[in-house]
Structure 1
Amino acid sequence: MDKSIPDKLYFKIGEVVSLTGIKAHVLRYWESEFGADIRPVKSSGRQRLYRRQDIDLILQLKDLLYRQGYTIAGAKKKLRTKASDEDTPTQASEAEQSTELLKELRSDLVRLRKMLKN
C-alpha cells in the first residue's frame, strides 16, 4: 500500500484527483474503459466513492499510460497478463484481506465516534 494514501475506506473523486494527479474526467473515462477493474461504489447521493484498491490501480494505470507509453488497449492487455500470472488467492490471503478491511472499518468508526463526541 502506498503510504501517501490516507488510512480510510472510501475517497471522493476530488480526493482521488488530489492523490493521483489524474483529472476527474479522465478518471470517469478510465472507469468506462477498465470497468471490470475500477468500480467505485456510488453513495446515496450518486457520488463516486473509490476504495484504496481503486486508487492503487489508478496509479498503476497512470504509470503504464503516461510513463511507460502504453496505449489503453496495451494497458488492458498488460493488466490481464499480470492478473493471470498471479496465483489464485489462498484462503489465508483472503482472510488477511478481510482482516485488513475490518481494521480499516474499525479505524473509520473510531474516528467518527471521536468526531461525534466533540
Structure 2
Amino acid sequence: MLQRTYKIGEVASLTGLKPFVLRFWETEFPQLSPVRTKKGQRLYSDEHLELVARIKSLLYEEKLTIDGARRRLSGAAEGQPLLRQVFDELQAIRRMLDA
C-alpha cells in the first residue's frame, strides 16, 4: 500500500503555516525530514503532518522555545521536573536578551 504524500504547499495549507516556516523547522527539528524527489521537491508523509502539528502546538500554544520543543520531542524533557524545565527556559530567554 502506497503512503499518501503531500507537497510543501499542501502541508502549508493544511497546517496554516507558511512554506518558509516548514523549511526552517526542517533545519531545527531532525525528526522532520521529508523525502526529496530527484528534482528536490519535498514530499511529506502523514507522520510528517502529525509532527508538524505537534511542533506547532509546542511553539504556538505551549509557548516553548525551539530548543524546548526540540527537547520535548526528543523525550529528554519528559524526565525533568516541571520547575527544572521552567528554569531552563528562563535561562535560554536570558541568554537571548543578553546577546
Q: What is the deviation of 1:14?
A: 0.4
Query: How far is the alpha carbon of 1:66 from its aligned partner?
Result: 0.3
Q: Secondary structure at the match of 1:69?
A: coil
| Corresponding residue for residue 93 of structure 1 | none
Post-superposition shift, 1:80? 1.4
Give the TM-score taking structure 2 as reference length.
0.71
| Paired position in structure 2 for 1:41 | 35
C-alpha offsets along residues 40-86 of structure 1, whole Å, 9 cap, x if unaligned? 0111221110011111000000000001100000001111127x88x
% identity of equivalent residues = 43
In the alignment, is residue 52 of structure 1 matched against residue 49 of structure 2?
no
Give the structure 1 partner of residue 10 of structure 2. Answer: 15
Which protein has greater RCO, CA pairs closer than 8 Å, 6+ apart? 1
The offset of 1:17, in angstroms, is 0.3
The residue identity in structure 2 corresponding to 1:28 is R
Q: Write out the 4+ residue segments of structure 1 that deviate beyond 3 Å after TM superposition.
A: none
Matched, 1:66 2:48: no
Letter paired with 1:54: H
TM-score, length of structure 1 as denominator length: 0.60
State the superposition RMSD in angstroms.
Answer: 1.9
**2:9 counterpart letter in structure 1:** G
**Structure 2 unmatched ranges of 5 or more:** 80-99
**Aligned counterparts of 1:29 and 1:66: Cα–Cα separation in 2:** 15
> What SS class does the counterpart of residue 17 from structure 1 fall into?
helix
Aligned pair count reads 77
Partner secondary structure for residue 6 of structure 2: strand
